Amino acid sequence: MTHITASPLETARSEAGQSLVEFAFTFSVLIGFIFGFIELCLAFYSFGMISESAREGSRYAMVRGSTCVNAAKAPCAATAAQVNTYVSGLGFPNIGGGKINVSTTFPDGNKNPGSRVHVQVTYQFPITLPLVTSGPISIASTSEMNIVQ
């Protein structure tokens, strides 16, 4: 019985396409992880953005209570709508492209010093990964401070 062995050149030719297929599978998984990691980083950045927005809104309201007067001795008390407009216009980069909603309340019912101001910011973070069809993720942050003037 004769045993025929293939030459090294013939063996290399028969396995030439195998490495290409392995690379295609590995590369697609790697790219999926990279884009998933980028999306996760954008979500964490967005959470930091809305957290800072809520803090800035409550700071804005805490120094503009019922006893606030400006340099010209005119009252400068802020309403909930003014706080909402201020927070919406802060200008933090909205890299994720989602929608920001702001809600300001005064839980104690007044804007006197010592009363509380509560600012809640919600953000609809859109998921932009290919082949992922889920809707946006809702991210929220609140800040509550006591009015000082």
pLDDT of residue 10: 63
Quick check: 61 and 78 in contact, CB under 8 A?
yes
Whether 106 has a pLDDT exceeding 90, the answer reads yes
Of residues 61 and 134, the one with the higher pLDDT is: 61
In tens, the pLDDT along 54-104 reads 999 999 999 988 888 887 888 888 899 999 999 988 877 777 778 889 999
Q: Which tens digits make up the pLDDT trace of 88-97? A: 888 777 777 7
φ, ψ dihedrals at 48, nearest 5°: -60, -40
Phi, psi of 101 (to 5 degrees): -125, 135
pLDDT computed for residue 69 by the predictor: 82
pLDDT at 47 (0 to 100) = 92
Locate 84 and state its tokens.
């909402």
Using one digit for the tens of pLDDT, what is the confidence trace for 6-38? 666 665 566 668 888 899 999 999 998 999 899
pLDDT (0 to 100) of residue 71:
79
